[in-house]
Structure formats: C-alpha cells, structure tokens
C-alpha cells in the first residue's frame, strides 16, 4: 500500500515538474514574443526616424539646390544686364567721340581724357552727358557712372537723398535684389560736390558689384591702376587712389570714414587724412590737401567683424 502511495506521489511530482517546465517554456515563449515585438517596434521606430531624417535632409538638399539655382540664374541675369548696359554706354561714348572728331565745332566731349568740363547747351545750363541721357530718362535717381580699369566695376551710380540705403537691396527698377545697386550715401552731394563723396557697393561672391575692388589689396595692382573715372550726370572726372584700408563698421570699434562728408575746417580735413594714412595697407606716397575733392568706395570685407574695405581717392581732373 505504501509502495503504491510512493509511486503515486512520484507521479504527482513528475506531473508537477512537467507542469512547471511547461509553464517555464510558456513564460520563455511569452518573453521571446515580447522581445520580438519590442524589436519590431524599435525597427518600425527606426524606420520612421530614418525616413523622417531622409525626408528632412532631402528637403534641405532640394531647398539648397533651388536656392543655388536661383542665385546662379539671378547672378547671370544681373551680370548680363549690367554688361549689356555698360556696352551700350561705351558705344554711345565712342560714337560721340567720333562725331566730335568729324565736327570740330561740336560741343566738347572729353571722353577718354576726363577734363571735368561740363557739357552744356548754353553757359550756365547743364546738359546730361549723351551716354547717360536715355538711362536717366528711365531712372531719375541716376547720378553718374563709375568705371575702374582691370576690374568688373563698370556701373551706373544712384542716390536717393530722401530714402536712406534704398538701393542696398533694390535693383535699378526698385525690385528686391541681393545685388542691389552701386549708390551714394544720402548725405553726400555728388554735384557740388561734398568734400568726401561715399559710394557703396556689395562684395558679391560672383565677382560683381564692388567685389573686384579687392585687387587694390595688392600694391602692384594699385601701381598700374591708380586712376579711374567717376562721371556725374553732367561732368567727366578722373580720380587717383591715394589709400586703401580695412576697418570695422561696428559703432565705436572702427573708423567712421563714411560720416565725414564736408570738412568744417582744414584741421578736420587733415585729421581725417591722418587717420586714413594710419590705417592704409601700404604707402602710395600720395595724399590729399584741404580743398581736394575725395571719393570713397566702400564694400564689405570678412576678416573683421562687420568689416569694410575702403578705397580713398581724390579728383585729379
């Protein structure tokens, strides 16, 4: 009897052990299933993150591509527009020179050798230079034309005395443009002129506007190209570069060259020139005296915080 009981107990123990094994196997299966589900969730989450990042960077790539394409297109259009305009202006100059050579009695047109002579119909009456007449009829804010040899600087110059920095980001037609236009500081008088007329232009990476003024960083370039022309609406003039320097445009950090427009005294003029020579990148051996008419070309530079590269010149004819 006891033997049967012992066998029965052993069977019960076996059954319990088997049951426990089955429970453990079932638990392990559940754990494995949970781990599988977790792996699937992580995989799904990873895929979502992957495709989200892929979409994000794809959008950035497409946006950059569109921006670059738009920049290049606008760059080409802007360069072509100014190039065509410069060619038209030069053609009119050349034609006017030929006409004057054929007809010695015609009004003097000092193209080529800038004499500073006013072109006029009658004494005391100014007439717009022939090459600028049509352009001025379209753009009444036109005040002149600047051309620097062996650079891409060959542009119309504008000024809006009643609208400060209007052409900073506007094209000739007044539409938004990253290139803007070459323009004169509103406080300056181009025609009188002010003691120091300041002209601004962007430093565009495509080489346009005032970018190529960077050539003046080199003394050898200055030596061969120290003269350039800035013609107002009525007169032709030649300027000689006397100094170049760089400074910060941050208030209190750099030289506020742009606010010097009309000297109140000889001492003030001399103090301005002393500061110019203090900052100059190299000595040209040339200076300016009180009574000289200065022309300052200003563009951005990127080695200083809010830097400016400045070319100071004086009128020589």
Q: Are residues 81 and 131 in the same domain?
A: no
Residue 102: its pLDDT value, please? 64
pLDDT band at 49 (very low <50, low <70, confident <90, very high): confident
Binned at pLDDT 50, 70 and 90, residue 9 comes out as: low
Beta-strand pair 182-184/154-158: parallel
99 and 153 both lie in a single domain: no
135 and 88 belong to one structural domain = no
pLDDT confidence of residue 282: 97
DSSP state of 223: H
| One domain, residues 130 and 100 | no
Identify whether residues 209 and 279 lie together within a single domain. Answer: yes
Pairwise CA distance, residues 254 & 262, whole Å: 20
| Sign of the C-alpha dihedral computed for residues 135, 172, 191 and 200 taken in this order | negative
Distance in angstroms (rounded) separating the CA atoms of residues 183 and 204: 15
- pLDDT, the chain, mean: 86
The answer for residues whose C-beta is within 8 angstroms of residue 210's C-beta and 6 or more apart is 153, 182, 200, 201, 202, 203, 297, 298, 299
- Average pLDDT on 195-201 reads 98
Looking at residue 122, its pLDDT comes to 38
Let me know whether 141 and 96 are in one domain: no
| Same domain flag for 182 and 279 | yes
Tell me if 172 sits within 8 A of 160, measured CB to CB: no
Question: Is 298 within 8 Å of 258 (Cβ atoms)?
Answer: yes
pLDDT at site 174: 93
- In the three-class reduction of DSSP (H, G, I as helix; E, B as strand; rest coil), residue 252 is classed as coil
Identify the domain boundary among 75, 106, 137: 106
Q: Is the dihedral of CA 119, 122, 123, 126 positive or negative?
A: negative
Q: Does residue 111 sit within a domain?
A: no
> Can you tell me which residue has the tokens 């009004």?
107
Q: Is residue 114 in some structural domain?
A: no
The dihedrals phi and psi of 315, each to the nearest 5 degrees, come to: -75, 130
Q: How would residue 53 be classed by pLDDT, with cut points 50, 70 and 90? A: confident
What is the model's pLDDT at position 113?
42
Residue 216 in domain: yes
Q: Cα–Cα distance between 138 and 217 in angstroms, integer?
A: 36
- Given a cut of 90, whether residue 190 has pLDDT beyond it is yes
97-115: average pLDDT: 54
Which residues, 6+ apart, have CB-to-CB distance to 303 below 8 Å?
Answer: 246
**Domain interval for residue 70:** 1-106
- Could you tell me if 51 and 184 lie in one domain? no
For residues 64 and 133, membership in a common domain is answered with: no
214-238 tens-digit pLDDT: 999 999 999 999 999 999 999 999 9
Residues 309, 214: Cα–Cα separation, whole Å? 8
pLDDT at residue 254, as a whole number: 93
Distance from the first to the final alpha carbon of the chain: 138
Least reliable range by pLDDT among 38-47, 108-117, 263-272: 108-117
Q: Is residue 77 part of a domain?
A: yes
Distances in Å between the alpha carbon of 282 and those of 38, 142, 216, 242?
Answer: 71, 34, 10, 10
Place of tokens 């007169």: 235
Instruction: Provide the domain count of the chain.
Output: 2
Instruction: With respect to residue 272, please indicate whether it lies within any of the assigned structural domains.
Output: yes
CATH number of the CATH domain containing 168? 2.40.260.10
Q: Are residues 29 and 66 in the same domain?
A: yes
Same domain, 77 and 40: yes
Predicted pLDDT of residue 120: 42
- Residues 184 and 292 occupy one common structural domain: yes
Model pLDDT, residue 63: 75
Asked whether residue 113 is domain-assigned, the answer is: no
Is 128 part of a structural domain of the chain? yes
Please report which confidence band the pLDDT of residue 125 belongs to, taking 50, 70 and 90 as the band edges.
Answer: low
**257-285, pLDDT tens digit by residue?**
999 999 999 999 999 999 999 999 999 99
User: CB-based burial of residue 116 (10 Å sphere; 0-12 exposed, 13-18 middle, 19+ buried)?
Assistant: middle
Q: Give the list of residues 6+ apart from residue 244 with CB closer than 8 angstroms, or none.
A: 216, 217, 222, 280, 281, 282, 309, 310, 311, 312
Is 261 inside any structural domain? yes
């Amino acid at each position: 009897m006891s033997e049967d009981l012992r066998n029965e107990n052993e069977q019960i123990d076996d059954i319990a052990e088997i049951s426990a094994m089955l429970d453990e196997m079932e638990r392990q299966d559940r754990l494995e299933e949970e781990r599988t589900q977790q792996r699937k969730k992580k995989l799904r989450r990873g895929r979502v993150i992957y495709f989200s990042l892929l979409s994000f960077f794809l959008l950035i790539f497409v946006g950059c591509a569109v921006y670059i394409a738009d920049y290049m297109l606008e760059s080409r259009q802007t360069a072509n527009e100014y190039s065509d305009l410069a060619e038209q202006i030069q053609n009119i100059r050349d034609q006017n020179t030929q006409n004057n050579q054929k007809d010695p009695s015609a009004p003097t047109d000092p193209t080529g050798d800038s004499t500073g002579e006013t072109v006029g119909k009658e004494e005391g009456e100014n007439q717009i230079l022939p090459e600028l007449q049509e352009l001025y009829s379209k753009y009444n804010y036109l005040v002149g034309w600047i051309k620097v040899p062996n650079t891409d600087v060959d542009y119309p110059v504008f000024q809006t005395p009643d609208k400060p920095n209007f052409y900073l980001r506007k094209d000739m037609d007044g539409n938004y443009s990253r290139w803007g236009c070459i323009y004169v500081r509103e406080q300056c008088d181009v025609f009188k002129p002010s003691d120091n007329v300041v002209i601004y232009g962007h430093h565009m990476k495509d080489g346009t506007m005032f970018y190529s003024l960077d050539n003046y960083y080199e003394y050898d370039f200055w030596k061969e190209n120290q003269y350039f022309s800035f013609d107002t609406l009525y007169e032709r003039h030649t300027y000689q570069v006397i100094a170049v320097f760089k400074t910060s445009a941050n208030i209190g950090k750099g030289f506020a060259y742009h606010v010097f427009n009309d000297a109140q005294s000889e001492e003030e003029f001399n103090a301005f020139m002393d500061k110019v020579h203090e900052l100059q990148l190299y000595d040209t051996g040339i200076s300016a005296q009180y009574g000289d008419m200065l022309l300052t070309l200003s563009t951005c530079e990127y080695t200083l915080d809010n830097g400016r590269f400045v070319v100071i010149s004086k009128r020589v004819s």
